[in-house]
């Protein structure tokens, strides 16, 4: 187990709910804010071990969907289960074991500004594993810092002393602090320069493969979709209108999907890779390809 902490024993004793290769199952989800209905009858399956890209226009409810899955947004209707266990209407103790199985990188990183990078990473350790002493906590934080490509000197720095890319990596390190099985990333490459974004994508793919993670990745970044996502779910009209590989999505008629993947930016991302579909899932030159695709177009 990474980070010198064996959390697997505790998990092994937890009830075995996992089945059918499904990490997240959402059925008939309805969420709303007052009169504004964000999701209506939304269904989605996320397979274990995949990187699922979640796309959709601004305000279509990608972040709200993520928040509903992790229990931060109470749905009006529907069912959500993670590794076979419902996340809705459960008492805290019931969801605690489940919450230990996921890590979240919120939009913008959401680091605590008054804590150092190392202290930020230690927050979930303190919360979920209070029995861990300070020395081991520091050791785990240092390991996660290295794991996410940050220099060791980043540990004692405060978020305000970090570049945007370093903040994202620090957020990723915190999301990985308790060795999750499931990683939620909300627009992880937003605001990064093309090289930094490609490098972050590559890091995500490598970590996902090494640690066997399932990744729910919200993004507007076409290059990320092509470079590292196994499948893509498209949110529109209050639901998931399509989910599949990029090739499968391209075969659908939906105007938003066609506009998204065949618009100028979609064509640029595709042409840099030759054909449509996921460009490179390996740890090889995926970042290089992503970088090329990003070159010559604005950050969006």
Ligand X SMILES: Nc1ncnc2c1ncn2[C@@H]1O[C@H](COP(=O)(O)OP(=O)(O)OP(=O)(O)O)[C@@H](O)[C@H]1O
Which range, of 5-13, 55-63, 225-233, 270-278, touches ligand X by CB under 6 A? Answer: 55-63
Q: How many residues bind ligand X (CB under 6 A)?
A: 10
CB of 235 to ligand X, least distance (A): 7
Under the criterion CB under 6 A, does residue 286 sit at the interface with ligand X? no
Q: Which is nearer to ligand X, 106 or 200 (CB)?
A: 106
Under the criterion CB under 6 A, does residue 60 sit at the interface with ligand X? yes
State the residue for tokens 């029995």.
131
Closest CA to 5 of 152, 125, 147: 125
Under the criterion CB under 6 A, does residue 21 sit at the interface with ligand X? no
Under the criterion CB under 6 A, does residue 144 sit at the interface with ligand X? no
Which range, of 6-14, 54-62, 113-121, 171-179, touches ligand X by CB under 6 A? Answer: 54-62
Q: Which is nearer to ligand X, 125 or 257 (CB)?
A: 257
CB of 142 to ligand X, least distance (A): 33
Q: Which is nearer to ligand X, 37 or 251 (CB)?
A: 37
Under the criterion CB under 6 A, does residue 33 sit at the interface with ligand X? yes
Under the criterion CB under 6 A, does residue 63 sit at the interface with ligand X? yes
3-state secondary structure the chain: CHHHCCCHHHHHCCCCCCCCCEEEEEEEEEEEECCEEEEEEEEEEEECCCEEEEEECCCCCHHHHHHHHCCCCCCCEEEEEECCEECCCCCHHHHHHHHCCEEEECCCCCCCCCCCHHHHHHHHHHHHCCCCCHHHHHHHHHHHHHHCCCCHHHCCCCHHHCCHHHHHHHHHHHHCCCCCCEEEEECCCCCCCHHHHHHHHHHHHHHHHHHCCEEEEECCCHHHHHHHCCEEEEEECCEEEEEECHHHHHCCCCHHHHHHHHCHHHHHHHHCCCCCCCCCCCCCCHHHHHHHHHCCCCCC
CA-CA distance, 171 to 49, in Å (whole number)? 21
Q: Is the Cα dihedral 199, 204, 208, 210 positive or negative?
A: positive
CB of 119 to ligand X, least distance (A): 28
Under the criterion CB under 6 A, does residue 38 sit at the interface with ligand X? yes
Which range, of 52-60, 207-215, 267-275, 290-298, touches ligand X by CB under 6 A? Answer: 52-60
Q: Which is nearer to ligand X, 58 or 113 (CB)?
A: 58
- Select from 62, 100, 174, 273 the one that contacts ligand X (CB under 6 A): 62
Under the criterion CB under 6 A, does residue 55 sit at the interface with ligand X? no
Closest CA to 206 of 156, 243, 172: 172
- Select from 59, 89, 263, 284 the one that contacts ligand X (CB under 6 A): 59
CB of 191 to ligand X, least distance (A): 12
- Select from 53, 61, 155, 171 the one that contacts ligand X (CB under 6 A): 61
Phi first, then psi: what are they for 296, rounded to 5°?
85, 5
- Select from 24, 26, 42, 64 the one that contacts ligand X (CB under 6 A): 64
CB of 62 to ligand X, least distance (A): 4
Binding site residues, ligand X, CB under 6 A = 33, 38, 56, 58-64
């Amino acid at each position: 187990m990474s980070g010198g902490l064996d959390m697997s024993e505790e998990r092994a004793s937890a009830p075995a709910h996992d089945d059918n290769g499904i990490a997240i199952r959402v059925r008939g989800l309805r969420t709303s804010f007052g009169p504004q209905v964000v999701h209506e009858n939304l269904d989605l399956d996320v397979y274990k071990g995949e990187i699922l890209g979640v796309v959709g226009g601004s305000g279509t409810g990608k972040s709200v969907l993520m928040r509903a899955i992790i229990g931060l947004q109470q749905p009006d209707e529907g069912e959500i289960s993670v590794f076979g266990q419902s996340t809705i209407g459960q008492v805290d103790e019931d969801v605690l074991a489940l919450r230990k199985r996921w890590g979240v990188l919120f939009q913008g990183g959401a680091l605590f500004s008054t804590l150092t990078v190392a202290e930020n990473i230690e927050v979930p350790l303190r919360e979920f594993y209070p029995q861990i002493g300070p020395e081991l906590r520091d050791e785990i934080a240092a390991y996660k810092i290295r794991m996410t490509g940050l220099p060791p000197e980043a540990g004692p720095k405060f978020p305000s002393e970090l570049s945007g890319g370093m903040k994202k990596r620090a957020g990723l390190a915190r999301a990985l602090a308790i060795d999750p099985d499931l990683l939620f990333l909300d627009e992880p490459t937003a605001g990064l320069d093309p090289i930094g974004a490609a490098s972050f994508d590559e890091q995500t793919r490598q970590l996902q493969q090494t640690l066997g993670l399932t990744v729910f990745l919200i993004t507007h970044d076409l290059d990320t979709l092509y470079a590292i996502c196994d499948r893509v779910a498209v949110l529109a009209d209050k639901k998931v209108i399509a989910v599949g590989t990029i090739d499968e999505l391209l075969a659908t008629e939906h105007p938003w999907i066609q506009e998204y993947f065949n618009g100028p930016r979609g064509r640029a991302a595709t042409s840099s890779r030759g054909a449509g579909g996921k460009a490179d899932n390996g740890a090889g030159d995926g970042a290089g390809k992503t970088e090329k695709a990003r070159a010559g177009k604005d950050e969006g």
